[in-house]
Every structure is written in structure tokens, then in C-alpha cells.
A and B are shown apart, each in its own frame.
Chain A
Amino acid sequence: MSTRAKEILVIIMIVVFSLVFYFRKIAGGKEIIFSNLVAWVLIALLVLSLGLILILTIKGSLIGRRVVFIYVGIVLALPLFMPFTQKITISPEVRSLYEAVEKLPPGSKVLVSFDYDPPSAPELQPMGESFIRLCFQRDFKVIIMGLWPQGPQQANIAIDKILEDPEMQARNLRYGEDYVNLGYQAGNEFVIQRMGSSFKSMFPSDYRGIPYDSMPLVRNIRNFSNIDFSFNLSAGFPGSVEWVQIAVDRYGVELGLGNTAVQAPQMYTYLNSGQVVGLLGGMNGGAEFELLCDYKGKATKFMLSQSFSHMVIIAFIIIGNVAYFLGGRKSALKDK
């Protein structure tokens, strides 16, 4: 079979599976979950096949990148149907964020900046949902904004999802009184700088066009001094670094961060120096925060997939290094 034919076959399989699951979902079908036995058999098959690849590699037969792709696809998809849940341990940086939020009294005004776009949503959206949900549960007032054009729209998606929950509906949350979405403002870090003297100058109206002064929640908010806590969800520039450098260092804002796994290592400097009160790093951080909030969201659901994929990557790194050292040794022997 030619490579092109194999590719078409794989695409057809993916499309068929996607359609089956999609129509099943919209038809209100039950979630498909494997039994324990099936799940363990599948895991055993995966481990055995990886062992086989290792043996083949030792014998000198190297696998192509398409095999790696297929394995990653399988280990990302299979855990979604498995009956296990991953044990999540709370890291100090996530706990400190949660504790900082817990200390706030009801009615506190919390500013949440959504500084990311849909490509980063798989990691950051669950954090946004669980954080805003926690704010509503604690009766905080939530002010949303974005330094990225798509940020406020991601916030709307999060709010819509939170408000679907009967518990949240029972709270009778009102736009303009309990939460507002100020929308996007161009200007990157200068927006934060000018919010230091006047929020209204940056957001004369919200994302729907409602004038700033006509919304009871923000009417009396002049600048950062009227904000009790800030939370930034960031996937790059402008984002967490700018919030720390301007809002925290110049205006003394108490800030928590939610970052993609790629960006999180850079934020440990600010965490260690006490400039930020806590950090949610990647899907792991999101899942830990969900556990603290006693809420099972997407981060918790997808943690098993992430862990499985990490383990497969580890396996392929080992296989790759075995191939490298054996290849090197053979070429060294040939040289001799």
C-alpha cells in the first residue's frame, strides 16, 4: 500500500470515528467508557507494542515518524474512554493561589484578564472556568477584560458554560452587577499602565457597547486601588510578564497567574520573589485548581491523556537514544 493510500485510510478512520462520536453526543447517547478489563488489556497491548518497537530498534530496524504520530494519537484518545482517574497532587504554587482567593471577603472585586486566543484554550480555558466559578461561589464581583482581541470572547464562552450549571443559575447572577466583560483594548502593556490611573479611559464602554458609568459594578471603580485581586490568564505577549511589571510593581496589585505549560517556567521567578501569589501552570495546574475547587472540569478529564502522552514520549526518547547509541557503536565498529 502506498504512503498516500495509508494517509487517506487514516483520515477516513478519524473522520468516521469523529462522526460516530459526534452524532452519538448530539443524540444524547451515554458516554462510552471501557470496562476495567478492556482498559488494562489495551494498556498491556500498548506497552507490549512499545517493547516490540524497542526490540526492533535494537535489531537495527528504525521506525518512522508516522508510527510516533499514531501512538500519540492513540494515547491521547484512549484515556478519554478509560474508567480510571488520575491521582492529582496539589503543588504549593496552586495551593497558594487558592488560599489567596479564599482569604478575600464576599463582595471583593476581582479583575480577570483573558490574554489568550483559541489555540491556547485547551490549557487556559479550564483555568478560567474554574476560577470564575470559584469567584461566583464566594460572591465576588468579577470584572473581565482582555489584552488579546479574542480574550473577551473566550471569557464569554467560559461564562456561558458556568451559567449552564443549575447551582450558578440559582444564584441569579446579573450582568453589570455581579460580572462585566469590558472587552478588548489595543495598546498592550500601555493599557495596564493607563488603567493605573483610570479604567474608564481604557474602557469607556463594555464589549456590548454599554457605557462604563451605567454599570453599577464598575461605576465606582476608578483604578487598581479599587480592585481586591487580579488574575491573569496568559499565553504570551502581552500577558503575565507585563501584568507583573506594571500592575504589581507599579500599582501594588495582588496578582495570580494562569499560564500555558510552555510559559510557566518563566513565571517561577515572579512566584519565588513574591510578586505573584500563585501560579497555575499548564493543564496540570488547571487540574490541581479544579481539585481544590471541588469541580471536575476539562483539565481533570484530560489529565490522564496528558500523562499517557508523556509516558509515550518518554518511551520514544528511550527508543531514540537506544537507536542512537547502537547506531553510533556500529559505525564506530565499522571505523575500526
Chain B
Amino acid sequence: MKRNVPLAITFIVGAVLIFSVFIPPMENWGEDFTLFFDIIAVFAFFLGGGNLLRVHLTKLSRRKQDWPYSIVTIMGFLLMLAAGLFRIGNPGDINASLTEQGSLFQTIYDSVFVPLGSTMYALLAFFVASASYRAFRAKNREATILLVAAFIILLGRTPLGTIVTGWVPESFSILQIPNLAIWIMNSPNLAGQRAIMIGIGLGVVSMSLRLILGIERTYLGGDDK
């Protein structure tokens, strides 16, 4: 029973969603079924919040490594939750929009979340540079091809690329680095991306069929028997 019910639900939902694409009278069924996604998403919000609190409170109570960061996480979570749910610090009443100028929720978003998010992203520039210096080596043929392609793309997007090959005559313009960069993006990159996408597509179809037909049961957890 514990296994057959989830298997039956998976089969029915999967079959309806597939048929709704190919059989016009069943089109609305597919859309109605997607409503369940919203309902499940609501539970996921609760579960996610609860899980975050549980993990960090446990870390805090057991004084695990880096536990002070858990205090920041919990405080941040509770503060945003209070500002959002109970409209604390909102100029209007409980029905007023959260994103009104001057509301605590919007102020925290603008003054804390946006700068912190941008800072995290900005760190990428430093890590990319450091990683390129330490790991981007022409160790073998494949790595050399990758290195040369990356080099051309990088150069092609800077004024240096135009300066270095600006002297190449127009009849050989493909050899100019910016044009080479465009060619790499439009040809080898495109071919590789398409191959990956087709592979993923076939993989998704086969895995979905395995799930719908009950062949793949690992999502149920535990052992299969």
C-alpha cells in the first residue's frame, strides 16, 4: 500500500499530462493538474522554512563549526518573515503593499539584500581570474583547444582583439579575432549545445517513462522490495 499508492499517483498524473498534450479534449485536464503544483509549492515553502530553522537551531544548540553564522541566518529569516507577514515597519496598515517605499521589508531588500547579492556575484570575477591563472593550462590536446577557444572569446570581447587583428584585410575578415569569436559562438558552441540538449531531452523522456511505468522507484526512498 505504501508503495502502490504513490506509484498509482505517478502513473495517473504522468499519463494525463502526456495525453493532454496529444489529445485536444484532454487539454484542460493537463492545466487543471498543474494547479496541484501550486498547492505542493505552498507546502514546500513551509517545509523549506521549517527545515532551515531546524538545521540552524540544531547547529546552534550543538555549537557546531561556524555556529555564529547560524545566528545571522535565523535572525535574518525571522526578521524578513516578521516584516513580510505582519507588515512590521510598514507605513500603511496590514493590507498595504509590502513594497511601498519606506517599508521595512523594502528597505531591507534595497539596503541589505541587493548589495549583498551583488557582492556575492562580484566575487566571481576574482575567483574566475584566480582559477584561470592556476588551472587553465594547455596540459593536453583537449585542454589546449579549450584554452585557445576561451582565449579568442575573451580577446574578441575586448578592444585588444580588434587592435591585434585590425590589419587583416577584409577578404580574410573571418581571421579577425572578434569575427572568430562570433564564429566560435555560432558554430562549435551551437553544435555542442545542441548535442547536449538533444541528449538531455532523450534522457528526460526515458527517465519520465521509467517513472510513469514504475520501473524507476528510487524516488520512493528506502529499498525497492
Chain A residues near B (Cβ < 8 Å): 65, 68-69, 71-73, 76, 86-87, 89, 91, 117-122, 150, 152-153, 156-157, 186-188, 190, 193-194, 197, 207-209, 265-266, 268-269, 272, 284, 306-307, 309-314, 316-317, 319-321, 324-325
C-beta contact mask, B107-141 vs A, less than 8 Å → 1, else 0? Answer: 00110011111101110011011101110111100
Least Cβ distance of B36 to chain A in Å? 9
Q: Decide if A72 touches B129 in the complex (CB within 8 Å).
A: yes
Instruction: Collect the chain A residues with CB atoms within 8 Å of residue B150's CB.
Output: 317
Which of A120, A269, A313, A321 has the most chain B CB atoms closer than 10 A to its own CB?
A313
Known: A91-B182, A187-B41. A119 touches B120 (CB 8 A): yes
Instruction: Collect the chain B residues with CB atoms within 8 Å of residue A118's CB.
Output: 113-118
Instruction: Say yes or no for B58: interface residue by CB 8 A criterion.
Output: no
Q: Decide if B31 touches A194 in the complex (CB within 8 Å).
A: yes
Which of the 9-residue segments B4-12, B65-73, B154-162, B217-225 touches chain A? B154-162
Least Cβ distance of A316 to chain B in Å? 4
Count, A-B residue pairs, CB within 8 A:
138
- Bound CA–CA A266/B189 (angstroms): 8
Least Cβ distance of B164 to chain A in Å? 11
- Bound CA–CA A68/B129 (angstroms): 7
Chain A to chain B: the 7 pairs with minimum beta-carbon distance, closest first: A118-B117, A316-B133, A119-B117, A190-B34, A119-B121, A208-B97, A307-B158
* Chain B interface helix/strand/loop/mixed: helix
Q: Which of B106, B118, B154, B160 contacts A122 (CB 8 A)?
A: B118
Which of the 9-residue segments B49-57, B190-198, B205-213 touches chain A? B190-198
Q: Decide if B34 touches A316 in the complex (CB within 8 Å).
A: no
- Bound CA–CA A152/B109 (angstroms): 12
Instruction: Say yes or no for B95: interface residue by CB 8 A criterion.
Output: yes
Contacts beyond the supplied A119-B121, A157-B110, A266-B193: 17 A-B pairs with Cβ under 8 Å: A71-B129, A87-B159, A118-B115, A121-B114, A150-B109, A186-B45, A187-B38, A268-B185, A268-B190, A310-B154, A313-B132, A313-B133, A316-B133, A317-B151, A319-B133, A320-B136, A320-B137
Instruction: Say yes or no for B171: interface residue by CB 8 A criterion.
Output: no
Instruction: Say yes or no for B186: interface residue by CB 8 A criterion.
Output: yes
Q: Decide if A320 touches B157 in the complex (CB within 8 Å).
A: no
- Bound CA–CA A268/B109 (angstroms): 33
We find that the number of chain B residues with CB closer than 8 angstroms to chain A is 54
Instruction: Collect the chain B residues with CB atoms within 8 Å of residue A325's CB.
Output: 138
Known: A269-B197, A321-B137. A316 touches B129 (CB 8 A): yes
Q: Which of A190, A194, A272, A321 contacts B138 (CB 8 A)?
A: A321
- Bound CA–CA A187/B44 (angstroms): 11
Least Cβ distance of B178 to chain A in Å? 7
Q: Decide if B158 touches A317 in the complex (CB within 8 Å).
A: no
- Bound CA–CA A24/B197 (angstroms): 50
Known: A87-B159, A272-B186, A320-B134. A313 touches B121 (CB 8 A): no
Least Cβ distance of A206 to chain B in Å? 9
Instruction: Collect the chain B residues with CB atoms within 8 Å of residue A266's CB.
Output: 193, 197
- Bound CA–CA A265/B192 (angstroms): 10
Chain B residues near A (Cβ < 8 Å): 30-31, 34, 37-38, 41-42, 45, 95, 97, 99, 106, 109-110, 113-118, 120-122, 125-126, 128-130, 132-134, 136-139, 147, 150-151, 154-155, 157-160, 162, 178, 182, 185-186, 189-190, 193-194, 197
Instruction: Collect the chain B residues with CB atoms within 8 Å of residue A324's CB.
Output: 137-139
Q: Decide if B157 touches A307 in the complex (CB within 8 Å).
A: yes
Q: Which residue of A lies closest to B32 (CB)?
A: A194
Known: A65-B134, A76-B125. A310 touches B34 (CB 8 A): no
- Bound CA–CA A168/B146 (angstroms): 46
Q: Decide if B31 touches A193 in the complex (CB within 8 Å).
A: yes
Q: Decide if B186 touches A268 in the complex (CB within 8 Å).
A: yes
Instruction: Collect the chain B residues with CB atoms within 8 Å of residue A194's CB.
Output: 31, 34
- Bound CA–CA A249/B99 (angstroms): 34
Least Cβ distance of B143 to chain A in Å? 10
Q: Decide if B120 touches A311 in the complex (CB within 8 Å).
A: no
Least Cβ distance of A88 to chain B in Å? 10
Instruction: Collect the chain A residues with CB atoms within 8 Å of residue B133's CB.
Output: 65, 68, 313, 316-317, 319-320
- Bound CA–CA A312/B197 (angstroms): 33
Show 25 residue pairs from A and B whose CB-CB distance is below 8 angstroms, ordered by the A residue: A68-B130, A69-B129, A73-B126, A117-B117, A118-B115, A118-B116, A118-B117, A121-B118, A122-B121, A152-B99, A190-B34, A193-B31, A208-B97, A265-B185, A268-B186, A268-B189, A268-B190, A268-B193, A306-B157, A307-B160, A310-B157, A312-B129, A321-B147, A324-B138, A325-B138
Least Cβ distance of A148 to chain B in Å? 12
Q: Decide if A186 touches B38 in the complex (CB within 8 Å).
A: yes
- Bound CA–CA A121/B122 (angstroms): 11
Instruction: Collect the chain B residues with CB atoms within 8 Å of residue A153's CB.
Output: 99, 106, 109
Q: Decide if A207 touches B97 in the complex (CB within 8 Å).
A: yes
Q: Which residue of B lies closest to A316 (CB)?
A: B133
Which of B45, B113, B130 has the most chain A CB atoms closer than 10 A to its own CB?
B130
Instruction: Collect the chain A residues with CB atoms within 8 Å of residue B159's CB.
Output: 86-87, 307
- Bound CA–CA A316/B150 (angstroms): 13
Q: Which residue of B lies closest to A318 (CB)?
A: B151
